[in-house]
Structure 1
């Protein structure tokens, strides 16, 4: 057992293999003890020579022993002492600028967070991004020429194992020597620190299995003919139409140069009236969003706005990216999406159609009344001319036409009725209007009450209320959509599925 723990500390076997071994051993021990307990109980129950209390005490002792074995088994001890391998390194990332032929030295601080001593190894390896997530894949150089021409071969670290006392730190020295003929641009490597030697670390092809290791990344930029060139390869939303003010956006940035880039910028979201509804910061954490040469990095975001009922329609998302150290460059991209909530949209369209239909219906009734008043006026004029013209002459009645004077006739009639409230009509109507008015109203001279006046012109008052309410709703609509600022939230979705709340910077 002590030899097994010694191999585990030295990295000759992995924690996974040790855990599997002890789990199997634990199951075998429990199975054997259970079988022995069952056999003993069967034999004891068939034996007439054993005292009853003696049988009970033996059975209870076996049960207690079995429980103790389960609790204090080697598997539990292993999980408590050896499975919690925890290491911390600082810094996790070096970003260095060197000249050809220059030498640079530093150290990595390794912290043993475990309750036992560790024997660790350090190994320089290459790495490349995995897909568009930016996660590193570590690669061992396959030939001496490749090792000498890559950053992993320029790094010098102690080859032998180093020990760290529990809950203590160790400073691992490292030196980078850049060859005189080093190619300008970016070079990338990592220092793997783990409890396995480089020879014992699992390798699949050229890819290193780092299940028991932790890495410190090194980004080296060699001066010379450095090319900083990038572009926004794609910028779009996950869907074209959303039923709420929520959108999932993704931006893919491609590095076409020979040195790593840190694209930074913002995505500004506008509603259909040009008002800002959100600002999404892009890659403000410099240690996270490096884009290596000849690779694509994808940034995903979720935008959610506290949009009002009326703030719907087409939205525009405009991305502005800046990158480069020697010469600051920029890239622009624009995409569009629609926020069309079904129920509010149906309410808005239905309300507008109902308002238009109602206004049109009221206007038709108003024009009919105006024409009726004009017709009565023309008939009065015709009767007057007939009374003063000889019978031999024919007097033609003029056809009423829609003109400004005709359209104001209902308003005049309404004002006359309003003045007539509580007073006989002949006392309030001017002589030049009285004849026409009386001809249409059949010379009603009784007093018009206020209630009768409201009942007579109820459609007019309802129309005024409806139009006023429609105007209020429209003004509220424009005031709502023209609001300068509105609350919103932005979440960045990392490749591993985790999310980070972002704040505008």
Structure 2
């Protein structure tokens, strides 16, 4: 026993040292990841169709990257085409060659591609866009992505994996452009006792360019009178994608059918897409309670009235005594 105690203490000591070292390494890694923060300005360029370029035209724009970390960083800037995730809003950079119909990355040159930024510092990256002579009219899209260059450090901390920031660039090539979009889904419940009324809305864009519709909801009652209206948030919808615009009509009580009209202007030509749906708002539970209350009141009134009438009736005579037969003496 005396020999095993020192060994046991030694094992415990080694275990504690190992645990402390692992915790220190893990916390250092986490702090390194949290400390790396990049921001870019602006986050979008040309989404308002301001980058309208002709085939063969050149255009230089600038983006700014800021190092909000507490450490000096070398920043690498790259340009990628991107696809939109299934939600219709999240851009995903891709390195594979995309269909040239929407590609923009191959038209862009970045200078400089590397910047050394001190903590809290910033740098400007020049973005040169050169549109080919044979470029297809319509929208072309790319992402300028900035990320820390952790040479020899990334494998240890993982800090450079997720710390990236980018600017989306929307270029509109002039020419004959097809604009076509429609409301692919406008669904509301057929019947509700009370609100709020959920609205499932999806807009499909089959144009050659992205669109930024701002749907407006107009509500009319059974008489065709407008009782409410409100606008939904505007969102970019990329070509041949669908995006969700679902929202809620915050009306609580109503009675009768209501027609919901959806209108949304889109495109550079100011076209309008429309859709409509009808909902019945009927507070069934309240109506049943009111009817039962009325029936109860009527029943009580009738019962009291009948009771009062019974009190007012005169007492009845003994009919049986009046109809008794006469005895023999009275007959004689």
TM-score range, shorter chain: 0.7 to 0.9
Q: Please tell me whether the aligned partners of residues 215 and 232 of structure 2 are also in contact (alpha carbons under 8 angstroms).
A: yes
Alignment of 1:139-218 (within 5 A): 139-142=94-97, 150-158=103-111, 160-195=113-148, 211-218=162-169
Aligned to 1:120: 75
Corresponding residue to 2:196 among 217, 221, 246: 246
Question: Residue deviations 1:175-202, cap 9 Å, x none?
Answer: 10001111101111111111259xxx9x
Per-residue deviation at 1:42? 4.7
Per-residue deviation at 1:121? 1.4
Corresponding residue to 2:220 among 267, 270, 291: 270
Q: Please tell me whether the aligned partners of residues 81 and 115 of structure 1 are also in contact (alpha carbons under 8 angstroms).
A: no
Corresponding residue to 2:257 among 299, 314, 321: 314
Using structure 1 for the length normalisation, give the TM-score. Answer: 0.50
Q: Distance in 1 between matches of 2:70 and 2:112?
A: 25
CA 42–319 in structure 1, closer or farther in 2 if over 3 Å, else same: same
Q: Distance in 2 between matches of 1:293 and 1:148?
A: 10
Structure with more helix by fraction: 1
Q: Distance in 1 between matches of 2:101 and 2:200?
A: 39
CA 105–228 in structure 1, closer or farther in 2 if over 3 Å, else same: same
Q: Please tell me whether the aligned partners of residues 189 and 219 of structure 1 are also in contact (alpha carbons under 8 angstroms).
A: yes
Q: Distance in 2 between matches of 1:244 and 1:231?
A: 30
Q: Please tell me whether the aligned partners of residues 271 and 312 of structure 1 are also in contact (alpha carbons under 8 angstroms).
A: no
Q: Distance in 1 between matches of 2:123 and 2:192?
A: 54
Aligned to 1:302: 248
Unaligned runs of 5+ in 1: 1-37, 45-58, 202-209, 366-454, 457-505
Q: Distance in 1 between matches of 2:109 and 2:205?
A: 29
Q: Distance in 1 between matches of 2:236 and 2:53?
A: 18
Per-residue deviation at 1:159? 7.0
**RMSD across aligned C-alpha pairs, in angstroms?**
3.6
Per-residue deviation at 1:211? 3.5
Give the SS at the match of 2:217: strand
Q: Distance in 2 between matches of 1:344 and 1:260?
A: 48
Give the SS at the match of 2:26: helix
Q: Distance in 2 between matches of 1:182 and 1:111?
A: 33
Aligned to 1:387: none
Q: Please tell me whether the aligned partners of residues 78 and 113 of structure 2 are also in contact (alpha carbons under 8 angstroms).
A: no
Structure with more strand by fraction: 2
Question: Residue deviations 1:24-61, cap 9 Å, x none?
Answer: xxxxxxxxxxxxxx9648569xxxxxxxxxxxxxx9xx
Per-residue deviation at 1:240? 2.8
Q: Distance in 2 between matches of 1:169 and 1:76?
A: 28
Aligned to 1:138: 93
Question: Residue deviations 1:103-150, cap 9 Å, x none?
Answer: 11111111111100112212211122222432222222438xx67983
How many residue pairs are counted as aligned between the two chains? 287
Aligned to 2:52: 97
Q: Distance in 2 between matches of 1:232 and 1:149?
A: 23
Per-residue deviation at 1:295? 1.6
CA 352–178 in structure 1, closer or farther in 2 if over 3 Å, else same: farther
Using structure 2 for the length normalisation, give the TM-score. Answer: 0.74
CA 351–41 in structure 1, closer or farther in 2 if over 3 Å, else same: same
Q: Which has the higher contact order (CA 8 A, sep 6+)?
A: 2
Aligned to 2:322: none
Per-residue deviation at 1:164? 1.2
Per-residue deviation at 1:77? 2.7
CA 149–313 in structure 1, closer or farther in 2 if over 3 Å, else same: closer
Give the SS at the match of 1:332: strand
Alignment of 1:87-486 (within 5 A): 87-95=38-46, 96-142=51-97, 150-158=103-111, 160-195=113-148, 211-237=162-188, 239-274=189-224, 276-284=226-234, 289-307=235-253, 311-325=254-268, 327-350=269-292
Q: Distance in 2 between matches of 1:99 and 1:124?
A: 21
Q: Distance in 2 between matches of 1:316 and 1:39?
A: 84
Aligned to 2:158: none
